[in-house]
Amino acid sequence: MFVIPPDTFGTARALADPTRFEVYSRIAEADGPVTVKELTRWFSLHHSAIRVHLRRLEEAGLITAEAVHRSGVVGRPELSFRPGPRAVNIQLPPRNLQFLAQLALEYCTANDSNTEGLATFGEEWGRRVARELPAGPKGPLPLAAAVEVAAAALRGLGCAARIENGGGRGLALIEGSCLFSPLSSSHAPVVCQVHQALIRGMLLELTGSNGFLLDHVASLALGHRTCRTQIIPSAS
């Protein structure tokens, strides 16, 4: 008989309530920490009811609280909440795919996987993801449209991805959650290289050209609030 991890029961109980599940989903999808005031506005619930849900989620290790000091505001710092370091994954019988991923990352690190090899590997996977999209484009796309499709593909893989204007530097792909958390923080160089190559591979396949540059300016794995990749058209 297989052994069910003890935290599985706590996770299942915490997320069994539909409203609590929605609260957790809002926090998990947000680009940054979420306050009680924001949650009460989204759900039209009294702050006391929201705090009950937050306490249960925090007890289950699904979210963490942090104090936010806002400039010009007098009084105690406001509490905000973000997803905890543990990913939610309930499977019966248990499957420890995270352990397999950790072994693969440790192998890459121990064997000094070269940057060029990682880039090639990630790009091929990105191309494959783009080719296998259910409603993929029939021909090359303009870069802006390709970025939209790539962001949607990342969301399908489980990443909270969105696009912003790049402030004169093309477009910015913003990811509010790390696709490879919690392993990314302990294997940041390898994971970030593969992830950037994955994005590049998708865009190469979708545009049919390499007329762009990627600039990875912020990383969740390195402690930033979001991952930010500038996608800059190459000078013609």
103-233 and 6-83 share a CATH fold: no
Phi, psi of 56 (to 5 degrees): -65, -40
171 neighbors 214 (Cβ within 8 angstroms): no
Domain 103-233 carries which CATH code?
3.30.1380.20
Q: How far is CA 19 from the centre of its chain?
A: 23
More confident residue, 54 or 3: 54
Output the pLDDT for position 78. 79
Nearest Cα neighbor of 66 from 55, 86, 76, 81 is 81
Evaluate if residue 29 carries a pLDDT over 90: no
Evaluate if residue 22 carries a pLDDT over 90: yes
pTM value is 0.68
Rounded CA separation 162/116 (Å)? 28
Residues forming a β-bridge with 229 = 173, 216
Using pLDDT thresholds of 50, 70 and 90, give the confidence band for residue 95: low
Using pLDDT thresholds of 50, 70 and 90, give the confidence band for residue 11: confident
> How do the domains of the chain map onto residue ranges?
6-83, 103-233
Tokens of 35: 């306050």
CATH class, domain 6-83, is mainly alpha
Evaluate if residue 70 carries a pLDDT over 90: no
Evaluate if residue 18 carries a pLDDT over 60: yes
Candidate from 64-73, 93-102, 176-185 with smallest mean pLDDT: 93-102
